[in-house]
A = this chain, B = another copy of it.
Amino acid sequence: MERAWIVSLGTELALGQTVDTNAAWLAQRLTELGIRPARHVTVPDELSAIRDALAQAAGESDVVVVSGGLGPTDDDLTRHALAALAGVELELHAPSLERLRGFFAARNRQMQPTNRIQAMIPKGGAALENTCGTAPGISIKLGGTPCFALPGVPFEMKTMFERAVRPVIRAATTGRVLLTRQIQCFGLGESDLAAKIRDMMTRGRNPEVGTTAKLGAIGIRINAAAGAPAAANELLDETERELRRRLGELVFGTGDDTLAAVVGAQLRQRRATLAVAESCTGGLLAKLITDVPGSSAYFVGGAVTYANEAKVRLLAVDNAPLAAEGAVSEPVARSMARGVRAALGATYAVAVTGIAGPGGGTEAKPVGLVYVGLDTRAETRVERFLFGHDAPRAFIRGRAAMTALNLLRLELLGTSGAAS
């Protein structure tokens, strides 16, 4: 088994009313098992569309994993499509009918006649027990290709995959594994960062190296193929070392690490505390920090000082610089950082003031202009950024909040140019 196709069934998915998360989850599991997800396909609840998709999937892959279309209603057509493609009838699977009856009895609910269809399996196929819902899954070969049909409800699908599909696939694979690792970077645009590792991103290299961007953080994926996990891990280690050598302090973490979690761990380790003052990010910076479970150990709190008056009242920012230079200025960022650190008695404070747009920009102070202030026991400093004019409000706010966290991260690393 080398190549898998993942098929998602549902009109709500095809019309975009629901975002499909099953396919991504299944792709991750298959990848872990050393099987390459070669294609995901989504089709609506229409018999001919489902048949076409499944026939093509079985023809062009070594294993097919399907989710959805196993419910009790007329638009649940997976079992019919599988039976038609295998050229067999549906037949009642007595143990599944027993389980269905038990499921409803245990909940004091009447089993509807329509639910009986859920105990029907294409002849020659096998039922996969559903331990969390009504619909059993189906395992069947289509032209020699194993095909697993799982429910669309994510937790039923996941439980069934782990119980009934993973062991079968593991037994069928020949041992070749594909292991994945990710390192997280912040501080350069995606193409500038890629320029530093261009030669490592050539196609066909093993491990493969690729980048993705999110809120300004660049994730670098490393995928290594090898005959055994230990050999794959060795390849990953080697590539990770080289990436870290080239990227230095741009690298802030691994896996799904967020900047906020990494900064939080540094603060916790030093028994230091943090306070924030926000204007244009309007709470987003504090939100990112408190997304992290346990952040109360180091995050004291913050002030969202949207109006000038709030800056004066909560942070004791002077009226003079506000009037002379405006709220989006170096001295105001400085005062905000100092003000919130003093007000909350924290070890560190960061402050953000800027113009997130879409309105409020001028020639001198365009949309996207942001000042980030940092106050410590030793010093106060402010950096100025311009986050792409014409960029949407959410982009500018996200970039500003992440940049504030990164400034603090570099300060905590003690490698910041302006360190005292």
Contact residues of A with B, CB < 8 Å? Answer: 8, 10-21, 23-29, 31, 36-45, 49, 53, 71-75, 106-110, 112, 114-115, 131-132, 134, 153, 155, 180, 182, 189-192, 194-195, 198, 201-203, 208, 210-213, 219, 221, 223, 273, 275-276, 278, 281-291, 293-296, 299-307, 309-311, 313-314, 343-345, 357-360, 386, 388-395, 397
- Could you tell me the distance in whole angstroms from the C-beta of A320 to the nearest C-beta in chain B? 20
Q: Which of B24, B284, B395 contacts A20 (CB 8 A)?
A: B24
User: In the complex, are the beta carbons of A293 and B17 less than 8 A apart?
Assistant: no
In the complex the two chains form, what is the Cα distance from A397 to B286 in whole Å? 13
Q: Which of B212, B295, B304 contacts A17 (CB 8 A)?
A: B212
State the number of copies, please: 2
Q: Which of B39, B182, B191, B345 contacts A313 (CB 8 A)?
A: B345
- Sample of 27 A–B contacts (CB below 8 Å): A12-B212, A14-B37, A14-B40, A15-B27, A15-B31, A15-B37, A15-B221, A16-B28, A17-B219, A18-B212, A20-B24, A37-B44, A38-B43, A39-B49, A40-B41, A75-B203, A106-B389, A112-B195, A114-B198, A282-B290, A286-B287, A293-B359, A296-B360, A299-B306, A303-B303, A310-B344, A313-B343
Closest 6 CB pairs of A and B: A282-B290, A283-B286, A16-B27, A301-B310, A16-B24, A283-B283
CB-CB < 8 A to A286: which residues of B?
278, 282-283, 286-287, 304
CB-CB < 8 A to A273: which residues of B?
307
Main secondary structure of the interface of A (DSSP, over half): mixed
CB-CB < 8 A to A153: which residues of B?
213
- Could you tell me the distance in whole angstroms from the C-beta of A55 to the nearest C-beta in chain B? 13
A210 and B45 in contact, given A38-B14, A286-B283 (Cβ under 8 angstroms): yes
- Could you tell me the distance in whole angstroms from the C-beta of A178 to the nearest C-beta in chain B? 9
User: In the complex, are the beta carbons of A72 and B210 less than 8 A apart?
Assistant: no
- Could you tell me the distance in whole angstroms from the C-beta of A15 to the nearest C-beta in chain B? 5
User: In the complex, are the beta carbons of A190 and B155 less than 8 A apart?
Assistant: no
CB-CB < 8 A to A343: which residues of B?
313-314
